Structure formats: structure tokens, C-alpha cells
Amino acid sequence: MAPPLLLLQDIRLTFGGRPLIESATLSVSPGERLCFVGRNGSGKSTLLKIAAGLVEADSGNRFVQPGATLRYLPQEPDLSAFPNTRAYVEDGLGPGDDPYRASMLLDALGLTGEEEPARLSGGEARRAALARAIAPEPDILLLDEPTNHLDLPAIEWLEETLAGLRSALVLISHDRRFLEKLSRATLWLDRGTTRRLEQGFAAFEEWRDAVLHEEEKERERLDRKIAQELDWVRYGVTARRKRNMGRLRKLEGLRTEKREQRGPTGQVKLVASDGELSGKTVIEARNVSKTFGDRAIVRDFSIRILRGDRIGLVGANGAGKTTLLNLMTGTLAPDEGTVKLGTNLEMVTLDQRRDSLDPTMTLSDALTDRRGDTVIVNGEARHVIGYMRDFLFQPEQARAPITALSGGERGRLMLARALARPSNLLVLDEPTNDLDLETLDLLEEMLDDYPGTILVVSHDRDFLDRVATSVIVSEGDGRWTEYAGGYTDMLAQRGAAAPARTAAKAAAKGEGKPAKAAAEPRASVSKAKLSFKQKHALETLPARIEALDAEIAKLETTLARPNLFAADRKTFDTATARLSAAHAEKAAAEDEWLTLEMLREEIGG
């Protein structure tokens, strides 16, 4: 095995009280693909800075192979000392490096090189920093959240580019799909120490859960030992005659071991405050268009969003996702067409750009809107310190300014603010930015249980697959198309749909035969027929759905009567139970009808 290009051994670093990093090791060999994972605040970015030589550890050793080149991508690149992006990227080249690569990478990332740093967006700054890190083709690339603020085309380009480099990679990222595609080994920083798995990220979560389960069993064994020793000290026959100092020392040693154990970091508790039930139709847009100057951002777009839908918006930066979102939520008027919002809507927006955060505010003030020390969650008053703990903030951070928070902590703060407000329509703009993988899991579970409607803009493919019931995709020239399912489903449908422009390209390349072959299986399907039972269900289900709609409306009217609960508890309980059952029956009927209708269309009527 080749000697490591970079080696950190027994790294220890303390900020204030408890050590942030107690005993960390990092070894990077030539061509290695290592993903670096851990909870927000565990010290991943700090250890990467130590590896890059930007931060000095309190103790431990750092070794870099003589002659090896290393480049580091920070989370928040600083271009302020350079006149434009080209100068910034070229400054990262070493002696003998090809300046053409700087221009080539800038162009591939959608930059001209003439952009002024003061006018760059977060995504543009990240693209310039990526070009600077990749251009020299270093022996070691240390990348801290390289996909943050990048759109899907840029993320997919980055995956292909990094996969083709000879450089060794160390990656910190919240993007599961990105890590699964690029990593071959995993380093886990947990409670100040590192553990290594010689497999890529796809195997990490199962391995992590097994490690934590074994630790829990070990803690239970330790608790039993302590209980046995205490029992002996209190009630043992020998103990009553004369204390055995060896047993007492053993008991004290067990207690010390338990005190010094660092259990797993607590989990974020994500619970959205429920608003009142919205109307069945949440948003209905008809033939909506919006143009800025000569450019059509949205052209002739129509959609009907029902209560409970989870809609993802996908497109390159600048395609108009935010504009479309604003049109659908009524915050921006269309040039043509109409947008009708449903009844009883309570909308909460999560702005991941964090423009709504005043940097001079303290964490406590941001959560309470400077209204004392309580937060109202689901109609109940909670002390702000307790609510902070749900999102893994410590009590001493209550008076800390927002500027002192890390990117992940600010992401959790935005979630805490948004979820405290009652809502039945959640509008999420890049909610996954800076969140660790465990918090992402909990966010996905919370959204799955959320009773309202969700609109989400995201470039995280795995997140969209887990959350979205349909995605709206930019097709270019202001055209937007809705596809059922998540991101992967959308890719499959776009491929199967064979739009005209794809067919034209295939014809130009002489690819007619594969298209004909692909059509043959459909001919055999068309020989099948619907059964009598299926035909009957297809004909009768629409009437059944309408009847359930009418019943639901009647039950909702009954439950809306003032003082029904106090005046007639039996009627209230009966109507509530029936309303829940009617909603379930309707959902099942709609699913069955949709399945049968798709089958009918596939076999030709």
C-alpha cells in the first residue's frame, strides 16, 4: 500500500470548555475517495482546516508528503482581495500549471472570469472557489460542502469532473447521492474521535447504527455492574462486617467510567405547528405567464395543487424557480393568466437565504421575535430554552448573536422559527442547505407526517425522491412541466416520454431502430383487457368519490358549528371519527381509480 500523502494523528483541539476534537486520525492515500461525516458542530470543518494547515491543533501530528500539492475549498470563500473571478482562480495555480484550465473551468461553471467579487451571489462565489481548487489538479482536494448553492446541472457536472480527477478527495457534504457516487471509504467524526469504514457512504448508515447499538448494550452492561457493586456495598454480609476497599475502589472506577462516557449527540425534535385544515384545492393556476424584459420566465403554465400534495421545483439557477414559486403563492402577479388560492390558508415560508435574520439579534430574540422568553408551539407556550434544546442548542447560546452561529446552526434556527408558526402550507426554499444527515432524516420524517401542503425548491436529489409526490421541472424558454413522483421518477418519465426534440435528435443520428424496438412491448400489452370487475370499478368510482366529497363537506359543516363539543359531545365524536374515515376512503378510491385509468390507457381503452 502506498504511503499516505496526508496524515493527521491523535489530533486534539479545545475551544473554551470541553474538547471539540479529542483523538482524531485522518489518513489520505494517493487517489483515495474519502467522505467525511458527522453531526453539525462535531468539528468536521475544523478538522478539515487542520488538515489544510489553516488551523493549528493543541496537540497531535500533521504530516504532508514532501512535494504533494493540496487545495482546500472553504464553506464561505472570500474573493474580496481580487478584482475579478479570473484573478482569484489563477491565483490558486502553482508553478507550471496551465492557465488555460482556469479559463476552461470558469466557462464550464457558467462564469466569464470578469465578475466582480462584490456582486457575486453565493452560488457564483462557490463556483469560482471550485474552479480555483480544481484547476491545479492537486494531489489532495479537501472539499467542504462543495454542492451548497449549486443547481442540479452544476452538481452533476461536478460529480463527473471529480470522478475523472487523479486527485485524492476528502468530501464533507449533506448530499447523499453525491457522497454515494464519489466515496470509497468513510470517516466518521463522533464525540471528538474518528472511526473509519473501508466502504463508501452507501454502507455508512447501517454501520453507524450497529456501532451505536453496541455502545448502548455496553452502557447497559456497565449500569448492571454498578448496580451489583452498590448492592454488595449496601447489603453484602462481608460489607456489613468490614468494608472491602478493593470493591469500593472498583465501584468508584465504574462510576467514573460512566461519568466520562459521551453518549451520542441528541436528536433534533422536529414538530411542525399545525394550522387549521385548508380547503381541498390549495392553489389553482391557469395559463400563467411572466416575462421580465424580453425573457419569458414562465409561459402558459397551469397546475392544480390539492391539500396534502408535496410539490418539488427543479431547475438550473436563474431558470425562474423563485419566480414560479412567488406566482403560485400569490406574492407576485402574473402578466397573463390567473392564480386562485384556496380557502383558510396559513402559509409559512422557510427562507434559506436567511435574509429575514437580523445578524444583531440573539438566538433567543430570533425565536421569540423579541417578545419575552416564550415560544408558542401548537398553541402551547414553551420556554425558549426548552425549545432551543429541541434543535440541539445549548442554554448558553441563548444570548449569543446570530453571527456567532455556524452555517448548520443557522439552518436549524431557520427551521425552528418556521416550524413554530401554525401552518397548513409550507414553502421551503433550499431547506437542506448546511443540515447534517441525521437532521435531514428527521426533517424528511416530519414532512412525511405533515398534514398540510408543501412546496419545496431543492437541488438535493435524494431529498426530492423521499419527499415529493410530484416535481415541476424547467424545460427551458419559460416552459415548466409537472411529473408524478420524485426526481428519479421524473428522469425515467422524461426518458420514456420521448419528446419531439429528443426524437428529432435520435432521427438525426440514425437511431430509429431502437425506438421501434422500444415500441414492440406495448403491442403485446395491448392484447390484454380489463376484467369485468375492473371495468365496473372504473365506471362507478367517480360517483363514489363525489359522494364522499359531499359527505366530507357535510361533516365539516357540522363540526364547524359553534360550541358543538360542549353542547353535543356524542355528535362531535361521531362526526370526527366519520370524517377521518371518509378522507381515508376517498384517498383509497382515488388511488384505485388512478391505477385503473392508467391501466386502461396503457392497453388502449
- Report the pLDDT averaged over residues 155-165: 93
317 is in an annotated binding site: yes
pLDDT digits (tens, 9 = 90+) for 89-114: 999 998 888 889 999 999 999 899 99
12 is in an annotated binding site: no
Which of 272-281, 502-511, 525-534 is predicted most confidently?
272-281
pLDDT digits (tens, 9 = 90+) for 559-594: 777 777 677 878 877 887 788 788 878 877 777 777
Domain match, 298 and 233 both: no
407 is in an annotated binding site: no
Give the pairing type, strands 6-14 and 19-28: antiparallel
**Predicted pLDDT at 178:** 94
Q: Which of 22-36, 409-423, 461-475 has the lowest mean pLDDT?
A: 409-423
318 is in an annotated binding site: yes
**Predicted pLDDT at 355:** 53
- Report the pLDDT averaged over residues 407-436: 80
Whether residue 236 lies inside any domain: the answer is: yes
pLDDT digits (tens, 9 = 90+) for 319-337: 889 899 999 999 999 999 9
Residues 6+ apart with CB under 8 A from 27: 4, 6, 7, 8
Domain match, 176 and 201 both: yes
**Predicted pLDDT at 12:** 93
Prediction pTM value: 0.66
Question: Domain end: 496, 520, 554, which one?
Answer: 496
pLDDT digits (tens, 9 = 90+) for 389-401: 877 777 878 888 8
Domain match, 468 and 489 both: yes
Identify which has the larger pLDDT, 212 or 241: 212
Model confidence at 268, pLDDT cuts 50, 70, 90, reads: low
**Predicted pLDDT at 510:** 38
Q: In the structure grid, which three cell numbers stand for residue 565, read together?
A: 363539543
Q: Is the pLDDT of residue 116 over 90?
A: yes
Model confidence at 361, pLDDT cuts 50, 70, 90, reads: confident
458 is in an annotated binding site: no
Q: In this structure, are residues 200 and 187 in contact, taking their beta carbons and an 8 Å threshold?
A: no
372 is in an annotated binding site: no
- Would you list the DSSP string of 453-519? EEEEE---HHHHHHH-SEEEEEEETTEEEEEESSHHHHHHHHHHH--HHHHHHHHHTT-HHHHHHHH
pLDDT digits (tens, 9 = 90+) for 504-528: 333 333 333 333 333 333 333 334 5
Helix and strand totals (H; E) in the chain: 21, 20
Model confidence at 259, pLDDT cuts 50, 70, 90, reads: low
Whether residue 590 lies inside any domain: the answer is: yes
316 is in an annotated binding site: yes
Closest CA to 595 of 543, 547, 537, 549: 537
**Predicted pLDDT at 94:** 87
Closest CA to 460 of 435, 479, 482, 483: 435
Domain match, 537 and 578 both: yes
**Predicted pLDDT at 358:** 75
- Report the pLDDT averaged over residues 23-51: 91
Q: In this structure, are residues 432 and 414 in contact, taking their beta carbons and an 8 Å threshold?
A: no
Q: What is the sign of the dihedral through the CA atoms of 496, 500, 503 and 509?
A: negative
Which DSSP helix (H) or strand (E) runs through 99? helix 99-108
Q: What is the largest CA-CA distance in the chain?
A: 99
Identify which has the larger pLDDT, 232 or 522: 232
> What CATH number does residue 90 fall under?
3.40.50.300
Domain match, 439 and 380 both: yes
Domain match, 349 and 223 both: no
40 is in an annotated binding site: yes
Domain match, 246 and 295 both: no
Domain match, 189 and 330 both: no
Whether residue 170 lies inside any domain: the answer is: yes
43 is in an annotated binding site: yes
Helices within 115-203 (DSSP H only): 122-134, 152-163, 176-182
Whether residue 270 lies inside any domain: the answer is: no
Which residue range(s) make up the domain with 536?
A: 532-602
Domain match, 177 and 252 both: no
pLDDT over 70 percentage in the chain: 80
- Strands (DSSP E) contained in 336-478 are 336-341, 347-351, 374-377, 380-383, 425-429, 453-457, 470-476
Whether residue 502 lies inside any domain: the answer is: no
Whether residue 265 lies inside any domain: the answer is: no
Whether residue 276 lies inside any domain: the answer is: no
Whether residue 328 lies inside any domain: the answer is: yes
321 is in an annotated binding site: yes
- Report the pLDDT averaged over residues 158-184: 94
Domain match, 242 and 373 both: no
- Report the pLDDT averaged over residues 366-388: 80
Provide the number of structural domains found in the chain: 4
Measuring CA to CA, how many Å separate 143 from each of 33, 67, 73, 185? 11, 20, 5, 15
Model confidence at 374, pLDDT cuts 50, 70, 90, reads: confident
Q: What is the amino acid identity at position 379?
A: G
Domain match, 242 and 183 both: no
- Report the pLDDT averaged over residues 234-238: 52
**Predicted pLDDT at 270:** 59
Residue 287: other Cβ atoms inside 10 A: 12
d(CA 67, CA 70): 10
> What CATH number does residue 591 fall under?
1.10.287.380
Closest CA to 10 of 18, 21, 20: 21
Domain match, 19 and 117 both: yes
